[in-house]
């Protein structure tokens, strides 16, 4: 039977760990194994990091909304911030030789690498919503 | 309590850093940055970073490894990596950073490569 959990977190570093722990509990509750959970964990950490840091810019007046939903064969994660949004296509490819030694810019690559589907949208009310799906 | 512990050992003129814990956004990354800065300030610019005890690293932590690498290079030194976990190896492969870092599984071999 499908299950769902929603979290509303403040825009601070500690929220990253909290979201990751809740994701792990949720995934374990659905019976997923370590490799699956490891992928979810990384994607949640990177997406919540982006929401806190780049989206809400650590503005504690702005929340990060996270949801997990799934059944035994797939798990969907959504992460929404209330920042000004961004265009994913504008993010430089971190594996391009000229970007290899840049300090940041690898989070989206990790999210794409470890999840099966990922899409970004600009929901009503502003901000950015990322929706990610991992299949068993 | 910090997410990371960084222990230092000296082998000739090579400083070995044994990292244990998480290298993630926040304390883990800052602790690593501060350690590298201090070593460079002390003139220690041959650094071998042992990652065997690093259970978790995120994109910020990977960025900190890159930052450490470029900071050491800028001072005319060398930073190499020792004993990557499978997870870290996967992340360095995805980011194509395995082409940037010198990576070793054996400490003696790594130390010999500095000579």
Mutate to test the interface with B, among A51, A106, A112 (most CBs of B within 10 A): A106
Q: Do B63 and A110 make contact, defined as CB atoms within 8 angstroms?
A: no
| DSSP annotation of A99 | G
Check CB contact of B73 with chain A, cutoff 8 Å: no
**A33-61 pLDDT, tens digit each:** 999 999 999 999 999 999 999 999 999 89
* N-to-C CA span, chain B: 37
8 Å CB contact between B68 and B99: no
DSSP letter, residue B26: T
Task: Name the pairing type of β-strands A63-70 and A74-81.
Answer: antiparallel
**A9: pLDDT strictly greater than 60:** yes
User: Which residue in B59, B62, B90 has the most chain A C-beta atoms within 10 A of its own C-beta, making it the best mutation to test that interface?
Assistant: B59
Q: Are A112 and A120 in contact (CB under 8 A)?
A: no
Contact at CB, B69 and A101, closer than 8 angstroms? yes
Complex ipTM: 0.87
CA atoms of A111 and A91, how far apart (whole Å):
13
The dihedral region occupied by B16, where left means phi > 0, alpha psi between -120 and 50, and beta the remainder, is: beta
Distance from CA of A102 to the nearest CA of B (A): 7
Closest partner residue to A42 (CB to CB) among B58, B67, B99 is B58
CB contact under 8 A, A109 and B91: no
pLDDT tens track of chain B, all 115 residues?
Answer: 458 899 999 999 999 999 999 888 877 788 899 999 999 999 999 999 999 999 889 999 999 999 999 999 999 999 999 999 999 999 999 999 999 999 999 999 999 999 8
Q: What six digits make up the tokens of A112?
A: 């794409």
Euclidean distance between CA atoms A83 and B4, whole angstroms:
31
């Amino acid at each position: 039977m499908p299950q769902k959990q929603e979290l509303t977190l403040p825009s601070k570093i500690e929220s990253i760990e909290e979201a990751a722990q809740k994701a792990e509990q949720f995934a374990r509750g659905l019976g997923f194994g370590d490799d699956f959970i490891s992928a979810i964990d990384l994607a949640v950490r990177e997406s919540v990091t982006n929401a806190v840091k780049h989206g809400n810019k650590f503005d504690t007046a702005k929340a990060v909304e996270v949801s997990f939903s799934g059944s035994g064969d797939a798990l969907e994660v959504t992460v929404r911030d209330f920042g000004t949004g961004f265009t994913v296509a504008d993010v430089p490819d971190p594996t391009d030789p000229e970007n290899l030694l840049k300090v940041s810019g690898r989070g989206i690559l990790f999210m794409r690498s470890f999840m099966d589907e990922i899409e970004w949208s600009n929901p009503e009310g502003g901000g950015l919503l990322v929706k990610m799906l991992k299949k068993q | 309590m910090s997410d990371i512990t960084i222990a230092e050992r000296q082998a000739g003129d090579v400083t070995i850093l044994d990292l244990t814990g998480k290298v993630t956004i926040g304390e883990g990354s800052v602790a690593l940055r501060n350690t590298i800065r201090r070593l460079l300030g002390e003139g220690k610019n041959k650094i071998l970073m042992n990652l065997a005890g690093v259970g978790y690293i995120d994109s910020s932590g990977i960025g900190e490894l890159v930052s450490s690498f470029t900071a050491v290079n800028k001072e005319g030194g060398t930073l190499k990596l020792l004993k990557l976990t499978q997870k870290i190896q996967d992340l360095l492969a995805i980011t194509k950073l395995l082409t940037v870092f010198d990576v070793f599984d054996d400490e003696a071999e790594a130390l010999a490569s500095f000579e």
